[in-house]
Structure 1
């Protein structure tokens, strides 16, 4: 099998399983069918957070024992089971909790191991390009699954049916990952045995003493912003009389188009200044959303700007985490990067759900805007430091 064929199938499988995360944006809608509110959504996602962090921490241990591609396949099967569990749940109970644990286990492994697997197939100077394509596949799955769910609802089906369909797609992704195990090993650019990927407290300490600590911190902030805007977008849309499918479609198309167009872009001479500029656009989109009311055109503009700001900056930040890492700790750094991401993506909804119920959505969006501004400012400060140091390095 050629390298192009392997990479293409890898991205297809990534796209198929990524729809699972997109459906978590519909948990408020699903939970509403059995009388649960946003606090319960936040609580279930907090359980998912714990499962995700544990699985990310042990992802390297498991992949060292069973192989990265096989673990990706197992992870997709876990996600498929979780989605089926959500679809079958008729109330808050053991099935819902087990589904939350299973999706955290599966999504933590897929997110942590996918970029590590890619580093075996692409050279260092190709990372931004291929990480961008990976994020295109992820974001397309994220964004299109809520759109699919909305279309199914309009056709007379239920949100539960969307969970069952996506479970089947995740099972197909598992089959693809299992089939790619041997071709990926054969096409690996590295010689000899794969370096150990196990994450340890000593490795975490080394990462936090390296320049890679900044991308690790920033991705947690960005993930919190992403979760605050997207996980409760159905709530925001219902409050304003808008259609959440419009937001997700505009956001997804924007991210996919810009990431494809910029796939060969490596971040420019100073990637952190590029990240800062994009994240200030993200900050502006949240501020605009705060004051946009029920205007449909402005709603699409918010989705467009957020797609550019968050969507385009993320793969550059992921590549900087790999490039700023100690060469011997690249797999561990990417796993720790993923762990930090999941703290924000699944942990922040616990705060967000509480805020919506107790203080309202406006207060939540204010907090999200503040986090976006902090992350953009951190990137700008690192960019200025690199600019000042550049003459000395030359």
Structure 2
């Protein structure tokens, strides 16, 4: 397999399994079919968050034993099993808990190890571009799986069928990762064996004392914003008489388009200033959504601004994390970045679900807007500090 073919197969494998996370946006719809509330959605995703935290911590241990590509293959098989159990669920119980555990295990591995694999194939100066391209395929999977669910519902099928179809796609992804084990090793820029990836208490403290702690904190805030707006988008849309598929389709197209542009962009002279600007745009999109009501044009604008703000700033933030990491702590830093991301992604819905049921959707959006503004301000302070050096 040539170097180009290796990249193509790798990104296809990433795309095929990425749809699994997009289907978590459909859990409120799925759970509604057996009369489970948004609180239950939040609880199941909290179980996923706990499993993810444990998995990310030990992901380096597993990859040191099996190799990163084989570990990714195992992760995709776990995700496949998770989606099947979700699709088959007809009530609250052990099946949902097991599905949530498997999802946390699978996503904890794929999301933390995926960027690490890519760092072996590209130069440090190419990281913004390569992470942007990686995130294009991730986001395409994220955003198109809810659209798939909407299309299936429109033709008379069930949202459950989207879970079954994506389950099979994850099996294909697993096979591709197993196949890539040898080609990636052959095309690595550094032919030496993979450096140890496991996280220890000493490495954890080392990373948190490095400049990388700033993007690690920021990604938690951004993930909470993303989860707050996306995980319950079906609820927001239904309450306003809107079509959630419009939001996900527009959001995905904007993110993919701008991330493809970002492939030729290195973040500018001060990448944190770029991140701050984009995240203030993200904050503005949430504020707009609070007051947009059932206006379809404004709904589309919210999706555009959120796609531009969150979607474009994220790959730059990943690259800054890798650049801020100490040379011998790259894998551990990226794993802790992923860990922080997952605490927000799967942990915040527990709070969001409670807000929706007990207080309402508008207070939830206000909280999300505050978190977005706080993250943007952290980026702006970091950018100012960089200019003063």
TM-score interval (norm. to shorter): over 0.9
Query: C-alpha distance in 1, partners of 2:3/2:304?
Result: 33
Residue 282 of structure 1 pairs with residue 285 of structure 2: no
Query: C-alpha distance in 1, partners of 2:192/2:165?
Result: 41
Query: C-alpha distance in 1, partners of 2:282/2:192?
Result: 43
Residue 73 of structure 1 pairs with residue 73 of structure 2: yes
SS at match of 2:147: helix
Query: C-alpha distance in 2, partners of 1:207/1:33?
Result: 44
Partner residue of 2:357?
Answer: 357
Query: C-alpha distance in 2, partners of 1:161/1:152?
Result: 7
Partner residue of 2:136?
Answer: 136
Query: C-alpha distance in 1, partners of 2:48/2:191?
Result: 37
Q: Deviations over 1:52-88 (max 9, x none)?
A: 1111111100000000000000000000000000000
Query: C-alpha distance in 2, partners of 1:240/1:277?
Result: 30
Alignment map for 1:294-373 (pairs within 5 Å): 294-373=294-373
Query: C-alpha distance in 1, partners of 2:111/2:38?
Result: 25
Partner residue of 1:10?
Answer: 10
Q: Deviations over 1:338-384 (max 9, x none)?
A: 00000000000000000000000000000000000000000000000
Partner residue of 1:165?
Answer: 165
Partner residue of 1:272?
Answer: 272
Deviation at 1:158, TM superposition (A): 0.2
Query: C-alpha distance in 2, partners of 1:191/1:292?
Result: 54
SS at match of 1:191: coil
Q: Deviations over 1:281-335 (max 9, x none)?
A: 0000000000000000000000000000000000000000000000000000000
Query: C-alpha distance in 2, partners of 1:378/1:183?
Result: 40
Query: C-alpha distance in 2, partners of 1:119/1:181?
Result: 15
Query: C-alpha distance in 1, partners of 2:74/2:193?
Result: 22
Partner residue of 1:21?
Answer: 21
Alignment map for 1:354-393 (pairs within 5 Å): 354-389=354-389
Query: C-alpha distance in 1, partners of 2:285/2:278?
Result: 11
Partner residue of 1:64?
Answer: 64
Partner residue of 1:392?
Answer: none
Structure 2 residue runs without a partner (length 5+): none
Alpha carbons 2:185, 2:191 under 8 Å: kept: no
TM-score by length of 1: 0.98
Partner residue of 2:209?
Answer: 209
Query: C-alpha distance in 2, partners of 1:119/1:69?
Result: 13
Structure 1 residue runs without a partner (length 5+): 390-394
SS at match of 1:26: helix
Residue 150 of structure 1 pairs with residue 150 of structure 2: yes
Residue 200 of structure 1 pairs with residue 200 of structure 2: yes
Partner residue of 1:89?
Answer: 89
Query: C-alpha distance in 2, partners of 1:162/1:125?
Result: 39
Query: C-alpha distance in 1, partners of 2:61/2:264?
Result: 33
Deviation at 1:191, TM superposition (A): 2.9
Query: C-alpha distance in 2, partners of 1:50/1:19?
Result: 21
Query: C-alpha distance in 1, partners of 2:54/2:265?
Result: 34
Tell me which stretches of 4 or more aligned residues in structure 1 moved more than 3 Å.
none
Query: C-alpha distance in 2, partners of 1:59/1:327?
Result: 20
SS at match of 2:106: helix
Deviation at 1:18, TM superposition (A): 0.3
Query: C-alpha distance in 1, partners of 2:156/2:193?
Result: 53
SS at match of 1:25: helix
